[in-house]
Amino acid sequence: MRLVAATLYALRIPFVESFSHSAAERRWSDSVVVRVRDDAGTEGYGEGTARSYVTGETVEMMLAHLADELWPRVADRELPAVDDLDAIGKFLPETELDGVIAPHASRAALELAVLDCALRRAGRPLASVLPPRRNRVTYSGVITGGPVARAVQLARQMRTIGLTAIKLKVGSDDDVARVTAVREALGPEASLRLDVNGAWSFDRAVEVLNAVAHLGIAAVEQPLPRGAIRELAGLRHATTIPIMVDESLVTRSDADELIAAGAADLFNVRISKCGGLAPSLAIASAAIAAGLGVQVGSQVGETAILSAAGRHLAAALPAVAFVEGSFGTLLLAEDVSIESVRFGHRGRGRARAHGGGMTCEGCCDTRSRPGSGSITGPSRRRPAIRKTRRPEFSSDSFAPARIPCSVANTGSRRSDRPPSMRGECRSETTRRSGRTSVGSCAVSREC
């Protein structure tokens, strides 16, 4: 099995409403979707989310790094047998990118696509290399930044739909009033944790955490900026609230340093941030071995591709404190899969897999036909790169920018496939307010 072609899709999907926290405000999600094809026509899909305040990557950086660095190193190479996640992890190169912490969103997108392709060709589900320990996972709700009144309204809505674990974005002057009001709206039974996104100083962290400690806070996520490892260790001794790290935890070396310093009680492991499923599993396993808790987190605005992969990871870990993601069209104006992978009532999502590739039973159609799309490109040692403006709507698609998400294992109707890349070469991407835009880049090496 050799990889012969890849296509990169830059997606900008509007949110139902803006999402804000102390580090950024977002009205849309910027994701890069990778489609790979092998010499037998089998395809696989992966996704990475560009967040400059997490890994340092932008969409433009991801597209360039995937096309110029990652893809040339895997094209035409024989894929190993997929006996475990490490096989794919070792197949992918370790790369660096100037100006970023780590090009992990790029790597995650390619890893998921290659893994999906290999599993689909073998007719095996992801569960064959990542066996689930539970049939269902329970997701948390997330309350965005903004006015206290809006936070209270969201808390009541989440309580109504049965969510029992809530994360509240904080990091402003009204933090104590905000936490107090949300706790009152949720009631005493709900699990409430805080996410600061590194906005506090050490003194501010001690002040706020001591003021809200009586409210039963389950954890505080990233209270201090990345790099403040010694201060995080000190904060653990200054408060009774468990400390979770997120932005401080991007690489495996970050994990080892945080564990050695005693700087955290929990790790927030996110697939796009950590570089894929294999690195995420390794980091989570190291945390559990060290006696730390693990949250399987998500980047805000992930599509069904990362949502499905995250659900598999959460189901496979021996212990998981919290799970985030799978918001689907609760947050996105639309998703890329034909079938929804959004969590249901009480935040529940099924995890048992069947079929080939990365599928989630009960949420995704598992029918597929490998190799029904066509990608063109000249036969050269260096891959041909073509950037083109892709139509936002297919004439008979249910929704705009609908991509046949093989990770979620949707049906592969011909009309759902991206069009052939033949034609005029352009460098444009669509940018229209309130509409999903898609830019695509074909990277092919034909045999």
Could you give the CA distance from residue 233 to residue 326 in angstroms, rounded to a whole number?
Answer: 32
Averaged pLDDT, 155-182: 96
Topology of the domain covering 136-350: TIM Barrel (3.20.20)
pLDDT in tens, 18-56: 666 656 667 778 899 999 999 999 999 999 999 999 999
> Backbone phi, then psi, for 118, in 5-degree steps?
-65, -40
What integer pLDDT is reported at residue 404 of this predicted model? Answer: 37
d(CA 89, CA 277): 8
**Ramachandran sector of residue 120 (left: φ over 0; alpha: ψ -120 to 50; beta: rest):** alpha
Q: Please state which CATH class domain 3-124+363-444 belongs to.
A: alpha beta
**Tens digits of per-residue pLDDT, 116-137?**
999 999 999 999 999 999 999 9
Q: Per mean pLDDT, which of 49-53, 169-173, 261-265 is the most reliable?
A: 261-265
What number is the average pLDDT over the span 324-340?
A: 87
pLDDT reading at 170 higher than 70: yes
Q: How far is CA 38 from CA 43, 44, 155, 395, 446, in A?
A: 7, 9, 47, 28, 10
CB 20 within 8 A of CB 6: no
Q: Would you kindly state where each structural domain of the chain is located, as residue ranges?
A: 3-124+363-444, 136-350
Give the pLDDT score at 160: 94
Closest among 50, 273, 324 to 168, alpha carbons compared? 324
What's the distance, CA 221 to chain centroid? 17
Q: Residue 173 CA to chain centroid, in angstroms?
A: 30
Alpha-carbon torsion (270, 110, 131, 164), positive or negative? positive
Q: What is the pLDDT of residues 360-401, one digit of tens each?
A: 433 333 223 222 222 222 222 333 333 333 322 222 222 223
- Whole-model pTM: value is 0.82
> Which pLDDT belongs to residue 43?
94
Percentage of the residues of the chain whose pLDDT score is greater than 90: 64
pLDDT at 22: 59
Of 117, 119, 138, nearest in space to 127 by CA: 119
C-alpha–C-alpha distance, residues 163 and 155, integer Å: 9
Amino acid identity, position 355: G
